[in-house]
Amino acid sequence: MSENVAIIGVGHSKFGTRKDVNIPELCWESMKPAFETANLEPKDIDFFVVGTAGMWSSEQAVPALIAEYADLAPKGSMRVEAACATGNAAIRVGYTAIKSGLADIVLVLGVEKMQESPNPTIIEMIGRFGSYFWEFENFGLTFPGYYALHGTAYMLRYGATEEDFARVAVKNHYYGAKNPYAQFQKEIDVETVLKSPYVAWPFKLFDCSPITDGSACVILASEEKVKEMGIEEKVWILAQGVGTGTANLSRREDFTSLASARFAAEQAYKIAKIEEPAKEIDGANVHDCFTAPEIIAYEDLRFCKRGEGVELIRNEQTYIGGKIPVNVDGGLKAKGHPIGATGVSQAVEAYKQLLRKADPGRQADVRNGRWLTHNVGGTGHYTYVTIYGLEKR
Amino acid sequence: MSENVAIIGVGHSKFGTRKDVNIPELCWESMKPAFETANLEPKDIDFFVVGTAGMWSSEQAVPALIAEYADLAPKGSMRVEAACATGNAAIRVGYTAIKSGLADIVLVLGVEKMQESPNPTIIEMIGRFGSYFWEFENFGLTFPGYYALHGTAYMLRYGATEEDFARVAVKNHYYGAKNPYAQFQKEIDVETVLKSPYVAWPFKLFDCSPITDGSACVILASEEKVKEMGIEEKVWILAQGVGTGTANLSRREDFTSLASARFAAEQAYKIAKIEEPAKEIDGANVHDCFTAPEIIAYEDLRFCKRGEGVELIRNEQTYIGGKIPVNVDGGLKAKGHPIGATGVSQAVEAYKQLLRKADPGRQADVRNGRWLTHNVGGTGHYTYVTIYGLEKR
Q: What is the ipTM of this complex?
A: 0.96
Considering only CB atoms, A382 lies closest to which of B77, B99, B241, namely B77
Catalytic position from the list A27, A84, A217, A304: A84
CA gap B130, B122 in Å, rounded: 14
CB contacts, 8 Å: A134 with chain B: none
What is the mean pLDDT of the segment spanning B354-362?
A: 98
User: Which residues of B are less than 8 Å from A240 in CB distance?
Assistant: 102
Spell out which residues of chain A touch residue B49, defining contact as CB-CB under 8 Å. none
Residue A68 with chain B: CB contacts under 8 Å: 246-248, 251
pLDDT at B120: 67
Q: Is A304 a catalytic residue?
A: no
- How distant, in Å, are the alpha carbons of A18, A87, B302 from that of B319? 54, 44, 17
Nearest to A53 by CA among A90, A25, A106: A90
Q: Is the pLDDT of residue B324 over 80?
A: yes
Across B295-300, average pLDDT: 98
Model confidence at B127, pLDDT cuts 50, 70, 90, reads confident
Q: What is the residue-averaged pLDDT of chain A?
A: 95
Task: Supply the angle between the helices B86-99 and A86-99 in degrees, to the nearest 10.
Answer: 60
Are B243 and B379 spatial neighbours (Cβ–Cβ below 8 Å)? Answer: no
pTM of the model: 0.97
pLDDT at B137 over 90: no
Please state the rounded mean pLDDT for residues A113-137: 77
Lowest mean pLDDT among B83-87, B128-132, B237-241: B128-132
Q: Residue B121 pLDDT more than 90?
A: no
Give which of A5, A75, A81, A143 to mutate to test B binding, by max B Cβ within 10 Å.
A81
Q: What is the C-alpha to C-alpha distance for residues A296 and B309, in angstroms, rounded to an integer?
A: 60
Chain A residue nearest residue B242, CA to CA: A76
Q: In this structure, are residues B219 and B110 in contact, taking their beta carbons and an 8 Å threshold? A: no
Compute the nearest-CA separation of B59 from chain A (Å).
Answer: 6
Please report which residue ranges of B42-85 form alpha helices under DSSP H. Answer: 62-69
Give yes or no for a contact between A253 and A259, defined as CB atoms under 8 angstroms apart.
Answer: yes
pLDDT over 70, % of chain A: 99
- Do the beta carbons of residue A44 and residue A105 sit within 8 Å? yes
| Whether the predicted pLDDT of A124 surpasses 80 | no
Q: Which residues of B touch A95 (CB under 8 A)?
A: 100
Backbone phi, psi, residue B376, to 5°: -110, 135
Residues of chain A contacting residue B74, judged by C-beta atoms under 8 Å apart: 243-245, 259-260, 263
B337 in Cβ contact with B113 (< 8 Å): no
Residues β-bridged to residue A387: A239, A372
Instruction: Look at strands A214-222 and A5-12 and give their pairing.
Output: antiparallel
Rounded to a whole number, what is the distance in angstroms from the first to the last CA of chain B?
Answer: 16
Probe site for chain A from B66, B78, B107, B249 (most A CB atoms < 10 A): B78
Averaged pLDDT score across all residues of chain B: 95
Tell if the CB–CB gap between B99 and A95 is shorter than 8 Å: no
In the predicted model, is pLDDT for residue B123 greater than 80? no
Res A67: pLDDT: 96
For residue B65, the chain A residues in CB contact (below 8 A) are 247
**Entry field: residues in chain B:** 393
Chain A residue whose CA is closest to B271: A102
Closest chain B CA to residue A62 = B247
Chain A CB contacts of B131 under 8 Å are 61, 64
Of A73, A137, A381, the CB nearest to B245: A73
* Res. A79: pLDDT tops 70: yes
Is residue A93 a contact partner of residue A54, using CB atoms and an 8 Å limit?
A: no
Give me the domains of chain B, ranges plus CATH numbers. Answer: 5-117+211-229 (3.40.47.10)
Helix or strand or coil: residue B192?
Answer: helix
Q: How many A/B residue pairs have CB atoms within 8 Å?
A: 214
pLDDT tier at A120, thresholds 50, 70, 90:
low
CA distances from B351 to A26, B69, B172, B221 (A): 42, 26, 19, 14
In the structure, what pLDDT confidence band is assigned to residue B128 with cuts at 50, 70 and 90?
confident
Question: What residues pair up with B284 in beta bridges, in sequence order?
Answer: B326, B372
Alpha helices in B111-187 (DSSP H): 119-127, 143-158, 162-176
Please say whether the beta carbons of A170 and A188 come within 8 A.
yes
pLDDT tens across B142-161, in order?
Answer: 899 999 999 999 999 999 99
**Residue pLDDT, tens place only, A136-148:** 777 778 899 999 9
pLDDT at A140: 79
Q: Residue A326 belongs to what H/E stretch?
A: none
* Pair A285, A372: CB distance under 8 Å: yes
> Cα(first)–Cα(last) distance of chain A, in Å?
16
Phi-psi label, residue A223: left if phi above 0, alpha if psi -120 to 50, beta otherwise: alpha
Q: Specify the range with the lowest mean pLDDT, choosing from A53-62, A242-251, B232-241.
A: A53-62
Q: Give residue A128's pLDDT.
A: 76
Q: Distance from A126 to chain B by nearest Cα, in Å?
A: 9
Where in A267-311 does DSSP place strands (E)? Answer: 283-285
Give the 3-state secondary structure of residue A88. Answer: helix
Inter-chain touch B61–A378, beta carbons under 8 Å: yes
Of the partner residues A129, A259, A260, the one whose CB lies closest to the CB of residue B60: A129
Using an 8 Å Cβ cutoff, are B335 and B183 in contact? yes
Nearest-Cα residue of chain A relative to residue B127: A60
Do B43 and B73 form a contact (C-beta atoms < 8 A)?
no
CB contact under 8 A, A68 and B264: no
3-state DSSP call for residue A134? Answer: helix
> Would residue A84 show up in a list of annotated catalytic residues for this protein?
yes
Shortest distance between the Cα of A14 and any Cα of chain B, in A, equals: 24
CB contact under 8 A, B77 and A82: yes
Out of B150, B173, B287, B337, the active site residue is: B337
pLDDT at residue A133 greater than cutoff 90? no
Nearest-Cα residue of chain B relative to residue A98: B100
Q: In sequence order, which residues have a C-beta less than 8 Å from that of residue A374 and are 6 or more positions away? A: A261, A264, A265, A284, A285, A286, A287, A297, A300, A301, A346, A383, A384, A385
For residue B51, which of B318, B342, B252 has the smallest C-alpha distance? B342
- The residue of chain A nearest to residue B65, with distances taken between CA atoms, is A247
Q: For A76, which of B59, B72, B242 is closest by C-beta distance?
A: B242
Report the distance separating Cα B354 and Cα B284, nearest Å. 11
Are A1 and B243 a contacting pair at CB < 8 A?
Answer: no
Q: Which of A22, A81, A137 sits opposite B79 (nearest CB)?
A: A81
Q: Residue B87 in contact with residue B94, Cβ under 8 Å?
A: no
| Nearby residues of A89 by Cβ (< 8 Å), 6 or more positions away | A51, A80, A81, A82, A242, A343, A375, A377, A382, A384, B78
Give tens-digit pLDDT for A337-382. Answer: 999 999 999 999 999 999 999 999 999 999 999 999 999 999 999 9
Number of Cβ within 10 Å of residue B120's Cβ equals 8
Neighbours of B309 (CB within 10 A): 29
Give the pLDDT confidence of B359-369 residue by residue, as tens digits: 999 999 999 99
Q: What is the pLDDT of residue B101?
A: 96
